[in-house]
Amino acid sequence: MIKPHGSDTLNALYIEDDTARAALAAEAEELPSLLLNSAAAANAVMLAGGYFNPLTGFMNLADALSVAEHMRTENGLFFPVPIVNLTNEDWVEAGSRIALRDPNVDGNPVLAVMDVSSVENVSKEQIDFMAEKIFRTLDTNHPGVATFNDLGNTMIAGDIQVLNFSYFRSDFPDTFRTAVEIRAEIEANGWNKVVAFQTRNPMHRAHEELCRMAMEQLDADGILIHMLLGKLKPGDIPADVRDASIRKMVDVYFPPNTVMVTGYGFDMLYAGPREAVLHAVFRQNCGCTHLIVGRDHAGVGDYYGGFDAQTIFEEEVPDDALELEIFSADHTAYSKKLGKVVMMRDVPDHNKDDFVLLSGTAVREMLGKGIAPPPEFSRPEVAKILSDYYQSLDA
């Protein structure tokens, strides 16, 4: 199986041993407590599950600035975005041990225990520097920039030990999986070549066929459909609706034992190219050998070029940074001429009228009115689930 990023074995920060975890939880109740913001809590969950291997906790300011500028920590570890704990609290002291509390669960239970190695003030200029490198813009209308700007200007670094997976295990018991669990299932399946498909949206025919194309062209053993379960921007479809629609598509239209439908606990960054590279890091940690990167991967609005998330791997990611490889995908659409979904670059004899093209807005309007999109665009079973959701918004 493909090695994790940056180490020979996966270093997940969740305390698996029940006795050790209970002892740590008891200790945590006696420690000073820091209430995390949602972004830091999501980072802790990802560290817990091994997705951010080989990190052992939150980065300090020097590493965060270096990663933002060069995609490497000061000691040379390749990493595409800073993994930080930013806060407005200023009482934490370097050398202390503190409990990190979960902002996303009622009662704010302890999520992790942290050994604080440094506490540093971050200037507005440094926040802007990192934001511009990560998101390629300082426009506060960009949801990622707006969130990053509001996290705080005190950076608390240090190793963590994690007690639980926040709300993800309880809210999504059939879907949430750690990188450790995904690697184990891939190994149990006997899969060697595994393609990952990232999604924060339901999957329409084009997405379905793209997965099928990648599997066939790469002669892959299986595909990991891996959906984001954390916080999104307003207007995005909730995780439970996405989960139901994707599972229905897989159950009806894919051969048995060829697809794993799973999810991970992270808040969307909307960082386009940088987030695509982050997706590659944690899919390698899951045991995947390939990641599908399509048009406007992890993008939002018009902040990124359609294929910037592919060119970053060609132009900025060093050849030795990752073992995982990228499957670069073009626009996909249903061809009236051929009667199937194709990548547009593969059919140069087509013009616009030869495709079934629908905007996301048009599809949402149709679903909201109970009108099924054409079968060339969406499977009827999927359209029914989405239509019921959109109509419930107006009920």
The pLDDT tens digits for 176-204 are: 999 999 999 999 999 999 999 999 888 88
274 is catalytic: no
Across residues 347-364, what is the average pLDDT? 82
- Closest by CA position to 300, among listed 322, 334, 275: 275
pLDDT at 310 over 90: yes
Reported confidence tier of residue 254, pLDDT bands at 50, 70, 90: very high
Cβ atoms of 116 and 94 within 8 Å: the answer is yes
Domain range list for the chain: 18-169, 174-393
Residue whose structure tokens are 């949801």: 143
Least confident among 10-14, 83-87, 92-96, 370-374: 370-374
Is residue 313 pLDDT above 80, yes or no?
yes
Check residue 302 and give its pLDDT. 93
pLDDT in tens, 122-169: 999 999 999 999 999 999 999 999 999 999 999 999 999 999 999 999
Looking at residue 361, what is its pLDDT?
67
In DSSP notation, 25-49 reads: HHHHTTS-EEEPPHHHHHHHHHHHT
Burial group, residue 395, by CB count within 10 angstroms (0-12, 13-18, 19+): exposed
Average pLDDT of the segment spanning 355-374: 79
Report the pLDDT value the prediction gives residue 27, as an integer from 0 to 100: 98
Q: What is the pLDDT of residues 270-292, one digit of tens each?
A: 999 999 999 999 999 999 999 99
Residue 164 or 337, more confident: 164
Reply yes or no on whether the pLDDT at 228 is more than 70: yes
Indicate the residue type of 49. G
149, 201, 212, 247: the active-site residue: 201
> What is the amino acid identity at position 31?
L
| All residues at 6 or more sequence positions from 207 whose CB lies less than 8 Å from its CB, including other chains | 197, 199, 332
Q: What is the pTM of this model?
A: 0.94
283 is catalytic: no
Q: Which two tokens stand for residue 147?
A: 């969130």
Q: Are the CB atoms for 163 and 111 separated by under 8 Å?
A: yes
Of 104-108, 251-255, 345-349, 368-372, where does mean pLDDT reach its minimum?
Answer: 368-372
Give dist(CA 205, CA 340) in Å, integer: 10
What 8-state DSSP symbol labels residue 14? B
CATH class of 174-393: alpha beta
Range 18-169 classified under CATH 3.10.400.10: yes
Q: Over the chain, what is the mean pLDDT?
A: 94
Strand-pairing partners, residue 115, are 97, 159
- The stretch 80-98 carries a mean pLDDT of 97
Q: Do domains 18-169 and 174-393 have the same CATH topology?
A: no
Task: Count CB-CB contacts under 10 A for residue 24.
Answer: 18
> Average pLDDT, stretch 246-267?
95
Say if residues 163 and 24 touch (Cβ distance below 8 Å).
yes
Read off the pLDDT of each residue in 328-346 and give the average, rounded to a whole number: 88
Cβ atoms of 21 and 163 within 8 Å: the answer is yes
**224 and 175 in contact (C-beta within 8 Å)?**
no
Q: Which of 21, 72, 169, 200 is catalytic?
A: 200
The stretch 112-129 carries a mean pLDDT of 98
Stretch 35-49: mean pLDDT: 98
Share of the chain above pLDDT 90, in %: 79
